[in-house]
């Protein structure tokens, strides 16, 4: 039986030509193609600037570092996300506080966030689950009242809009992922968007070892024209030109990707809406998501059987995500089961169906038919 993948990149001859052009040129690592990609990305997300890095995880790490997050700070995140949302903050010495999620969208609950804020809180992290933006205005209100940074983990949602504004234009820092299954790809890659010039400078320095090259900011003087210095440690998170060229070409197709994903979403909705016991994903009226996932929910006691039935049909289903604090890296005493009951119940029932722009109506029909049989 043919396999229908859970997610898949969409590569055209134009993408290949863009990469080949860089390979024939003078730059492979960070150079003019990265500058072009960052400029194009800034325009798409309506941000003052974007900083390209090597992965979505690197984007989170760089954003937290630019925000000055470190030992003694607390960062509030939802548990319904890939663990990189938390691990990169922990790597800088921060403590994670988990806020529960909204039962319909799986995005972080602003009311619970507000209740968790303490004198040690440094940032609120919103995760746009499945491509649906979090409640950004409500979270902005909480952040502003407590003088906190609002960071948006938009790994799923480049191309989404929130109350008429592109994702990337609302939070203080917005991180993106360009992994092959995401809405656009650079193979491996990520980026951070911001309107704050100070944060943009810190982002660019951190992704390049922390190097300072502006003479007016040197701590040492009269050293020589070759001089550069590290005032705060950073890492090598530079995106190569060859990958940025692919990203620029993919950005040209973002609107098409969005419409094709919307078509798949609508087809699923038509074919699955009458299945008893199945909860379909929903969207709020004030957002226009790009659907990265199609997360359905089935009765918890039947989830494994449904999952295995789908895999047996050659359907590449997945589960997104185990609550982050269930990972053994988190201490069970500080992060007990039941900490975020809505997120845990969401996880216990969730299965992600295949969602990518090249899915045909026939393939969507086959997925729906297999799920209907599994739910019977």
Q: What is the pLDDT of residues 218-241, one digit of tens each?
A: 999 878 999 999 999 999 999 999
Q: pLDDT digit string (tens) for 313-346? A: 999 999 999 999 999 999 999 999 999 999 999 9
Check 40, 122, 182, 258 and give the catalytic one: 182
**Angle between the 13-23 and 241-251 helix axes, to the nearest 10 degrees?**
150
pLDDT at 1 over 60: no
| Secondary structure of residue 180 in the 3-state scheme | coil
C-alpha distances in Å from residue 1, one per residue of 4, 149, 310, 361, 366: 9, 49, 12, 17, 11
Average of pLDDT values for 208-214? 96
pLDDT at 92 over 80: yes
Q: Which of 211, 229, 251 is a domain's end point?
A: 251
Which pLDDT does position 117 carry in this prediction? 98
Q: Give the rounded percent of residues in the chain with a pLDDT score beyond 90.
A: 98
Average of pLDDT values for 88-110? 98
Torsion angle in degrees (nearest 10) through CA of 283, 286, 288, 292: -40
Same domain, 158 and 228: yes
pLDDT at 351 over 90: yes
Same domain, 43 and 149: yes
pLDDT at 158 over 90: yes
Same domain, 212 and 272: no
Nearest Cα residue to 368 out of 4, 2, 1: 4
Which pLDDT does position 2 carry in this prediction? 65
Same domain, 234 and 354: no
Q: Where are the beta strands (DSSP E) in 200-248?
A: 211-212, 229-230
Same domain, 306 and 238: no
Q: Would you say residue 2 lies in a domain?
A: no
| Secondary structure of residue 236 in the 3-state scheme | strand
Active-site annotation holds for 182: yes
CA distance 175 to 170: 12
CATH number at residue 291: 3.90.1150.10
Nearest Cα residue to 108 out of 97, 119, 118: 97
Q: Would you say residue 352 lies in a domain?
A: yes
Strand 294-297 versus strand 287-288 pairing type: unpaired
Contacts of 309 (CB under 8 A, 6+ apart): 370, 373, 374
Q: Which of 251, 272, 301 is a domain's end point?
A: 251
Question: Domain total for the chain?
Answer: 2
Same domain, 219 and 309: no
Same domain, 224 and 121: yes
Q: Would you say residue 5 lies in a domain?
A: no
Nearest Cα residue to 153 out of 185, 123, 127: 127
Average of pLDDT values for 34-46? 98
Which pLDDT does position 247 carry in this prediction? 98
Nearest Cα residue to 368 out of 273, 275, 268, 264: 268
* Residues spanned by the domain of 362: 254-375
Q: Which of 205, 231, 251 is a domain's end point?
A: 251
| Ramachandran region, residue 234 (left: φ > 0; alpha: ψ -120 to 50; beta: rest) | beta
* Mean residue pLDDT across the chain: 97
Which pLDDT does position 222 carry in this prediction? 76
Average of pLDDT values for 286-305? 98
Same domain, 294 and 173: no
Which pLDDT does position 223 carry in this prediction? 85
CA distance 321 to 82: 6
Confidence of residue 249 (pLDDT cuts 50, 70, 90): very high
Q: Where are the beta strands (DSSP E) in 40-160?
A: 49-53, 74-77, 95-98, 121-127, 149-153
| Residues 124 and 136: beta-carbon distance below 8 Å | no
Nearest Cα residue to 272 out of 202, 351, 218: 351
Same domain, 219 and 265: no
Q: Would you say residue 6 lies in a domain?
A: no
Only one residue has tokens 């729906």, namely 368
Which pLDDT does position 256 carry in this prediction? 98
CATH number at residue 25: 3.40.640.10
Which pLDDT does position 221 carry in this prediction? 84
Confidence of residue 75 (pLDDT cuts 50, 70, 90): very high
Same domain, 277 and 167: no
**Angle between the 56-66 and 197-206 helix axes, to the nearest 10 degrees?**
120
Q: Would you say residue 272 lies in a domain?
A: yes
Average of pLDDT values for 130-139? 98
Same domain, 285 and 311: yes
Copy the structure tokens of residue 338: 């039941």
Same domain, 240 and 113: yes
Contacts of 12 (CB under 8 A, 6+ apart): 249, 253
CA distance 56 to 44: 18
Q: Would you say residue 124 lies in a domain?
A: yes
Q: Would you say residue 259 lies in a domain?
A: yes
- State the DSSP H helix or E strand holding residue 176, giving kind and residue range, or none if neither: strand 173-177
């Amino acid at each position: 039986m043919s396999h229908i993948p859970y997610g898949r990149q969409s590569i055209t001859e134009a993408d290949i030509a863009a990469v080949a052009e860089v390979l024939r040129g003078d730059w492979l690592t960070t150079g003019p193609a990265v500058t072009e990609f960052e400029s194009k990305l800034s325009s798409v997300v309506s941000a003052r600037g974007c900083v390209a890095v090597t992965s979505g995880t690197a984007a989170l790490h760089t954003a937290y570092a630019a925000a000055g997050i470190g030992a003694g700070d607390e960062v509030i995140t939802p548990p319904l996300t890939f663990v990189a949302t938390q691990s990169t903050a922990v790597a800088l010495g921060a403590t994670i506080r988990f806020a529960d999620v909204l039962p319909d969208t799986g995005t972080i609950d602003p009311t619970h966030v507000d209740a968790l804020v303490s004198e040690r809180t440094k940032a609120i992290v919103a995760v746009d689950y499945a491509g649906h933006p979090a409640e950004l205005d409500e979270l902005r209100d909480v952040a502003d009242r407590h003088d906190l940074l609002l960071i948006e983990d938009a790994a799923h949602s480049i191309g989404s809009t929130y109350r008429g504004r592109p994702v990337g234009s609302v939070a203080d820092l917005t991180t993106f992922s360009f992994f092959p299954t995401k809405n656009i790809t650079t193979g491996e890659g990520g980026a951070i968007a911001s309107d704050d010039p100070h944060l943009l400078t810190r982002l660019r320095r951190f992704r390049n070892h922390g190097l300072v090259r502006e003479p007016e900011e040197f701590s040492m003087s009269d050293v020589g024209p070759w001089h550069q210095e590290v005032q705060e440690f950073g890492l090598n998170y530079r995106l190569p030109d060859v990958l940025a060229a692919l990203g620029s070409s993919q950005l040209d197709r973002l609107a098409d990707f969005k419409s094709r994903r919307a078509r798949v979403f609508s087809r699923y909705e038509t074919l699955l809406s009458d299945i008893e016991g199945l909860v379909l994903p929903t969207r709020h009226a004030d957002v226009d998501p790009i659907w990265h996932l199609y997360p359905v929910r089935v009765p918890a006691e039947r989830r494994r059987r449904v999952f295995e039935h789908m895999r047996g049909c050659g359907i590449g289903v997945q589960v997104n995500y185990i609550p982050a604090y269930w990972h053994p890296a988190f201490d069970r005493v500080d992060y007990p089961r039941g900490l975020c009951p809505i997120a845990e119940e969401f996880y216990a029932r969730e299965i992600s169906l295949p969602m990518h722009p090249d899915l045909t109506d026939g393939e969507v029909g086959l997925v729906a038919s297999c799920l209907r049989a599994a739910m019977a």
